[in-house]
Amino acid sequence: MSSSKHLHHSDLRAAARLATEATAGLTDLVEAMHAGIARVPGLPASGSGRTTGLTGLVYRSVRGVTRLVGGSVDGLLSLLQPVLQGDAPSAPPSAEREAVIAALNGVLGDHLAATQNPLATPMAFRVKGAPLVIERAAIAEAVPDAGAQLLLLLHGLCMNDRQWLREGQDHGRMLAVAGGFSPVYLHCNTGLHISINGRALAQQMEALVDAWPHALQRIVLLGHSMGGLIARSAVHQARAAGHRWPALVKQMVFLGTPHHGAPLERAGHGVDLLLAAAPYARPLARLGQVRSAGITDLRHGLLLDEDWAGRDRFARGADPRHPLPLPEGIECFAAAGSVGEPGSLTDRLLGDGLVPLDSALGRHADAVRTLRFADDHQWIGSGVGHLQLLSDPGVSAQLRAWLC
């Protein structure tokens, strides 16, 4: 497939803006390293990370030219919009384009949203890959078999709603046939703080339930990876806000959800600390700090605003979470993957390759933080990796047993 089939005019402008910002940021990093190396030994480093004199003038000129070029490119692309292909509303975005944008949002989504970059993904409900308009008539048309059981599927970090279909398996479609559910898929910017996505979801769920064509009797939330954390945050915030929809939630299912964080983010945080400890390498720590708020939330599994507000998310420190138990009155189920030998230390630490077993099953050394899933509400898939949780036949069978 040629790249033109995946490219939108808005993508070009957004990418040009992002490249301009990246060039300016890299210039700042190089100047900070230059300032650190050039300073007189024994004297304190400049807190500004800037150089002076002719050297400083050079760096200021580079930043100025970068901004000028970036503005010129953006203006040129706006003039070329009529002849650039890809923005026709009748042409749905390709799966390849959406996968790339989902990954970009996972890594840089908070920056994209803060700078109002067109590549930032707005939260929406989707059906068959198309946005769902939250109006009764529109829902009835898009979901002609809308019934009394709503299944909401929430994707993980750097993913999108279309990626629930994996190796021919889609848990949403399977449960629609097996249990009479009406599946709706969340599409969101996973680079934002989990609590921000949770609050937005709580509000949009209230609107969706109000506009649903038939009276709902049951809502099930099925979250993969970060999607499970967003679901927990949304239910908590919705109850605090007095929303009605949580009363309809009967079950929540978590597939490979890092309830107590993921070791890869903690490893990334460790690299930040090591780089920051070396005077000349300290500016390079900024490269590690490009990663989004959504990713750093996964260090411990932060669900609430108060877990991160007012804190330096890259600073050293203990687990800052306020303990949040599983929601009362809702049956909660946890499915975990295991790529190691059953019962081995490797099995416990690696889990599905990204999320350790203890984290996926809510286990914690601190009883206050332990999530108390009933024994028959837990399932471990031997030889099942993190993404395989989306397609494994054993997971499908367990979902049917729990929900149908």
249: region left, alpha or beta (phi > 0 left; psi from -120 to 50 alpha): beta
Distances in Å between the Cα of 185 and the Cα atoms of 126, 202, 326, 350, 389 are: 5, 14, 22, 29, 17
Percent of the chain with pLDDT over 90: 54
| pLDDT value at residue 29 | 43
Residue 255: CB partners within 8 Å, gap ≥ 6?
222, 223, 224, 225, 228, 335, 389, 390, 395
Measured on CA atoms in the order 233, 234, 238, 244, is the torsion positive or negative?
negative
Residue 298: CB partners within 8 Å, gap ≥ 6?
157, 226, 258, 261, 262, 265
What is the C-alpha to C-alpha distance for residues 66 and 109, in angstroms, rounded to an integer?
A: 22
Q: Band of the pLDDT at 221, cuts 50, 70, 90?
A: very high
DSSP state of 20: H
| pLDDT value at residue 376 | 97
More confident residue, 74 or 104: 104
Q: Across residues 346-362, what is the average pLDDT?
A: 85
What is the C-alpha to C-alpha distance for residues 326 and 330, in angstroms, rounded to an integer?
A: 8
| pLDDT value at residue 106 | 84
| pLDDT exceeds cutoff 70 at 323 | yes
Percent of the chain with pLDDT over 70: 69
| pLDDT exceeds cutoff 80 at 187 | yes
Q: From 3.40.1410.10, 3.40.190.10, 3.40.50.1820, 1.10.240.10, which CATH number describes the 124-261+322-403 domain? A: 3.40.50.1820
More confident residue, 177 or 13: 177
**Model pLDDT for residues 44-63, shown as the tens digit of each residue:** 444 555 655 554 554 455 44
**Model pLDDT for residues 337-349, shown as the tens digit of each residue:** 998 776 666 666 6
Q: Are strands 218-224 and 331-338 parallel, antiparallel or unpaired?
A: unpaired
The CA-CA-CA angle for residues 383, 386, 387, to 5°, reads 105
**Model pLDDT for residues 81-122, shown as the tens digit of each residue:** 444 344 444 556 788 878 878 877 887 788 889 888 788 899
**Model pLDDT for residues 118-149, shown as the tens digit of each residue:** 888 999 999 999 999 999 999 999 999 999 99
Within its chain, how far is the Cα of 272 from the centroid?
21
What residues does 126 pair with on adjacent strands?
131, 185
The candidate with the shortest Cα–Cα distance to 381, out of 373, 391, 371, is 391
| pLDDT value at residue 71 | 47
| pLDDT value at residue 202 | 98
More confident residue, 200 or 78: 200
Distances in Å between the Cα of 56 and the Cα atoms of 52, 53, 392 are: 4, 5, 57
Which contacts of 204-208 are long-range, i.e. CB under 8 A and separated by 24 or more positions? Answer: 204/123, 204/125, 204/134, 205/152, 205/234, 205/238, 205/243, 205/245, 206/238, 206/243, 206/244, 206/245, 207/134, 208/125, 208/132, 208/134, 208/139, 208/150, 208/184, 208/245
| pLDDT exceeds cutoff 60 at 1 | no
What is the C-alpha to C-alpha distance for residues 178 and 245, in angstroms, rounded to an integer?
A: 24
Residue with tokens 């929303």: 243
**Alpha-carbon torsion, ordered 398, 399, 403, 404, to 10 deg:** -80
Mean pLDDT of the chain: 80
Domain ranges (residues) in the chain: 3-90, 124-261+322-403
| pLDDT value at residue 163 | 94
**Which residue intervals of 80-221 are DSSP H helices?**
95-114, 136-142, 171-179, 194-211
| pLDDT exceeds cutoff 80 at 398 | yes
| pLDDT value at residue 266 | 54
